[in-house]
Chain A
Amino acid sequence: MPVTPLLQDGPSRPARFDLSALWRAIRPRSPGAVIVTALLLLGAWIMVFPFIWMVSSSLKPTNEVFDPVFTIIPKTFAGLGNYYSVLFDQPYPRFLLNSLIVCVGILVVQLVTAIPAAYALAKLKFRGSTILFGTVVASLTIPINVTSIPLYIGIVKAGLLDTHVAMMFPFFISVFAIFLFRQFFRTFPDSIIQAARIDGFSEMEIVLRLILPSAVPAIAAFSVFSFVAHWNDLYWPLIVVQSQDKMTATLSMMQYQQEFYTDYGKTFASATVVTAPMVVAFLLARRHFIRGITMTGVKG
């Protein structure tokens, strides 16, 4: 009994590997196109090479890392030793945990504060909305570097130095999220909201049962964006973290600056461990990453 394919147009063909169709798809359209493609692939190689080198070195013993003859596969496999050392000679799982706590904590508070505010700015009329939005836009230009000193002083005075809260605090509010979600909510049809009001929805219900579900793709995209950004953060953790106990994975790279001159293999094993989570997450959730980025840029 032949299985009918899901989408069928014209006579059905057996699903054989169709070489000619594959060639037609790949075939370059002109010699110029071949050159351009070659250049693009070369460029891609340049992009990827540092990763390859890093992983490869992480598997080598120190003396082999800078072997004049570079080989991707290590001659002596020292990977186990290197990674073991990275993960267990120092409280690496602790570092990862810290990074995780900080990123998740930041994201949760960001979403909880930004989404309601964005909705209010987008759809509700209230006095001060223009001032608030103006402040949001102005704050978009203020980097953490500028406000770090007063924040630091405040944290010190509050006795919160070297705590998770301190690491998360300046990022609790993401004016970027407010801006992004406001743009998104503005495109939500007013007519649906009005119909809901006529149906008897309370304002709160409208937010929770209509608006929020529709914003899920934007929330997903932003979450990815925020998580990656704060996982990779260096500046602020550098300032507020004093003890090894609270170091984030990224911050631990500063430690390895010293190690760099003694044990290369371990250094790059630690680099791999730090970078791997985000890279892997990106490879698995490409669409959301790219969606998050483009959502910010294309609408202007």
Chain B
Amino acid sequence: MAKLSLNRICKSFGKTTILKDISLDIEDGEFVSLVGQSGCGKSTLLRVIAGLETPDSGEIRIDGARVNDAAPKHRNIAMVFQDYALYPHMSVAENMGMPLIMARLPLHARLPLLRHLAPAHARERPGIQRDVAEVARKLRIEHLLDRRPAQLSGGQRQRVALGRALVRDPKIFLMDEPLSNLDAKLRVQVRREISELHASSGLTFVYVTHDQVEAMTMSSRVALMQGGTILQMGAPNTLYGNPDTVDVARFIGSPEINILPGTLENGVVRCGEIALPVAPAGGGGLRSGPVQVGVRPEHMVLETVPELAYPARAGRGLSLTFRKRMIEDLGGEVLVHGHLNGHPEHDVRIRAQKSEAYGSGGSLSQARDWEVRVNPAHILLFDAGGMRLRAEPVLADTHAEPAALQGGLRKKLDLV
């Protein structure tokens, strides 16, 4: 339960700058994810927060107090490492008891042999064992207390690492890619448990991951990092629906967003078959020039009626010709690869329900050219440099209901 603020943190290792002027504020009880690809600096930032690295410049404050020079143990934090970093020679109980021993016993009561002479040792041990047992119960690992880490499975080791962190009653909980060593099914389960842990404990969580699904599902806010800076920080939905840059748009969302080159001339976006008049959001003007047009695979709706002509029907969004190349069958969903008319070299992905792709009349994989519909409101525009152009489409037909456009029109024309 603590407020964390970082102000203009810079960190270099030798000639390489890892963190460039990072500032962020995390409120009490938030779950913030630091996401990004390898090398973006997220782990380094976490270690700076933990106190394992000292920033070259900038300030770290926990609950308003400056902690730049404070050792990790004085910051009231707990950390779960990617490979758990359990002490291999100690039992689970001893692993989890370590922080308490460090906190409650003076040095002479901790040293081997000597400690049996110290009264503090005998006095505190029962209390420590009790606290450890309680946390073990909460995490359902009491039956493992006597085992060594080498005898545990990956998931069990993770709980022990969590236990070791929880037992300290920390204010801030740091996690460095804790799920990456688990298999897929276990990952989903543990993800849920971590979320529940956050909800029940109310602690401030800072969570590092390269997996945007984890970040999106677990966090109250996500900080997307690249090359040592924060590209964008905000609620998951904001990063998804309102990205600041094309890099953010690319990183968030799976499968990756489709980006096609286009131009903006006199207020009209042209890209392949798209001719979309736009007006700048919040007034101002839009400069003509090359732009990048982005549409997410899940926002492209299939209309698989090849026989009909494809006039642009007002009120039903943009209609584009899509030539299918390949279908990936994912079970209930399919991922269709192909390209849009006008951009043969750009691979475009469409995510659709299986029923949409194949239709009621049986296999439509024979059809090669499909009609694809896009709600103009789902089009993301970026300038040539990747910065988001906030513009609103000018809908010719204002009586079109956004709600009808939203879920995708599943009008199946009878072919009989």
CB distance from A265 to the nearest CB of B (A): 50
Task: Tell me if B16 is interfacial: C-beta within 8 Å of chain A.
Answer: yes
Query: Which parts of A119-133 form the interface with B (CB within 8 Å)?
Result: none
Q: Is A9 an interface residue, CB under 8 A from the partner?
A: yes
Interface presence of B399 (CB below 8 A): no
Bound form: Cα–Cα A10–B15 in Å: 7
Q: How far is the CA of A9 from the CA of B228 in the complex (A)?
A: 13
A9, chain B: closest CB distance, angstroms: 5
Q: Which residues of A contact B15 (CB under 8 A)?
A: 9-10
Task: Indicate with 1 or 0, residue by residue over A247-278, a CB within 8 angstroms of chain B CB atoms.
Answer: 00000000000000000000000000000000
Q: State the Cβ distance, B375 to closest chain A Cβ, in Å.
A: 44
CB distance from B21 to the nearest CB of A (A): 14
Per the bound structure, the CA–CA distance linking A10 and B16 in Å amounts to: 7
**Measured between C-beta atoms, what is the minimum distance from B377 to chain A in Å?**
42
The reply to whether the CB of B17 lies closer than 8 angstroms to some CB of chain A is yes
- When distances are taken between beta carbons in the complex, the residues of chain B under 8 Å from A9 are 15-17
B359 to chain A, nearest CB (A): 46
> Which residue of A is nearest B15, CB measured?
A9
Per-residue CB contact flags for chain B residues 34-63 toward chain A (1 = under 8 Å, else 0) read 000000000000000000000000000000
Tell me the complex Cα distance, A10–B20, Å: 12
Which A residue's beta carbon lies closest to that of B14? A9
Contacts of A10 in B (CB 8 A): 15-17
Give A5-21 interface residues, CB cut-off 8 Å to B: 9-10
**A10→B13 CA distance, assembly (Å):** 12
How distant is A137 from chain B, measured CB to nearest CB, in Å? 25
Residue of B nearest to A12 (CB): B15
Task: Name which residue of chain B comes closest to A7, CB basis.
Answer: B15
- Least CB distance from A69 to B in Å reads 48
Cβ distance A5 to chain B, nearest Cβ, rounded Å = 10
Residue of A with least CB distance to B12? A10
Chain A residue at minimum C-beta to C-beta distance from B16: A9
Look across to chain B and name the residue whose beta carbon is closest to the beta carbon of A11.
B15
In whole Å, how far is B193's beta carbon from the nearest beta carbon of chain A?
Answer: 36
Q: Report the nearest A residue to B13, measured CB to CB.
A: A9
- Least Cβ–Cβ distance between A8 and chain B, in angstroms: 8
B17: A residues at CB distance < 8 A:
9-10
Closest chain-B Cβ to A25's Cβ sits at a distance in Å of: 10
The CA-CA distance from A87 to B15 in the complex, in Å, is: 53
**Whole-angstrom distance between the Cβ of A16 and the nearest chain B Cβ:** 14
CB-defined contacts of B16 to chain A, threshold 8 Å: 9-10
How distant is the Cα of A18 from the Cα of B278 in the complex, in angstroms? 55
Separation of A204 and B15 alpha carbons in the complex (Å): 50
Interchain CA distance A9-B14 in the complex, whole Å:
10
Name the distance in Å between B369's Cβ and chain A's nearest Cβ. 45
B16-36 contact mask (Cβ, 8 Å, vs A): 1 or 0: 110000000000000000000
Measured in the bound complex, the distance between the Cα atoms of B16 and A9 in whole Å is 6
For the complex, what is the distance from the CA of A9 to the CA of B15, rounded to whole Å?
6
CB 8 Å contact bits of A1-40 with B (1 = contact, 0 = none): 0000000011000000000000000000000000000000
The chain B residue with its CB closest to the CB of A5 is: B15
Q: Tell me, rounded to whole Å, the shortest Cβ–Cβ distance linking B150 to chain A.
A: 15
The closest CB in chain B to the CB of A13 belongs to B15
Instruction: For residue A30, give the distance in angstroms from its CB to the closest CB of chain B.
Output: 14
Q: Taking the nearest CB of chain B, how far is it from the CB of A66, in angstroms?
A: 49
In the bound complex, how far is the Cα of B16 from the Cα of A167, in angstroms?
57
CB distance from A189 to the nearest CB of B (A): 22
For residues 23 through 77 of chain A, which have their beta carbon under 8 Å from a beta carbon of chain B? none
Min C-beta distance of A228 to chain B, whole Å: 35
CB distance from A298 to the nearest CB of B (A): 16
- Report how far A233 CA is from B15 CA in the complex, Å: 49
Q: How far is the CB of B256 from chain A (nearest CB, A)?
A: 28
Nearest chain A CB to B37's CB is how many angstroms away?
17
Bound together, the chains give a CA A53 to CA B136 distance in angstroms of: 64
Rounded to whole angstroms, the CA-CA distance of A131 and B17 in the bound complex is 57
* Min distance, Cβ B326 to any Cβ of chain A, angstroms: 31
In Å, the complex CA distance between A73 and B401 comes to: 100
Question: How many Å lie between the Cα of A10 and that of B17 in the bound state?
Answer: 8
Which residue on chain A has the smallest CB distance to residue B17? A10
Considering the chains assembled together, what is the distance between the CA atoms of A228 and B15 in angstroms?
41
Q: A6 vs B364: C-alpha distance in the bound complex, in angstroms?
A: 55
CB distance from B275 to the nearest CB of A (A): 44
- Chain B residue nearest in CB terms to A8: B15
Cα-based distance from A9 to B17 in the complex (angstroms): 8
Q: Taking the nearest CB of chain B, how far is it from the CB of A157, in angstroms?
A: 55
Once bound together, how far apart are the Cα atoms of A253 and B17, in whole Å? 58
Minimum C-beta distance from B54 to chain A (A) = 12
How far is the CB of A104 from the nearest CB of chain B, in Å?
44
> What is the minimal beta-carbon distance from A18 to any residue of chain B, in angstroms?
11
Query: Nearest Cβ in chain B — how far from A255, in angstroms?
Result: 53
Query: Closest 3 CB pairs between A and B?
Result: A9-B16, A9-B15, A10-B17
B residues sitting closer than 8 Å to A (CB atoms) are 15-17
Task: Name A's B-contacting residues (CB within 8 A).
Answer: 9-10
6 residue pairs of the A-B complex, CB under 8 angstroms, read: A9-B15, A9-B16, A9-B17, A10-B15, A10-B16, A10-B17
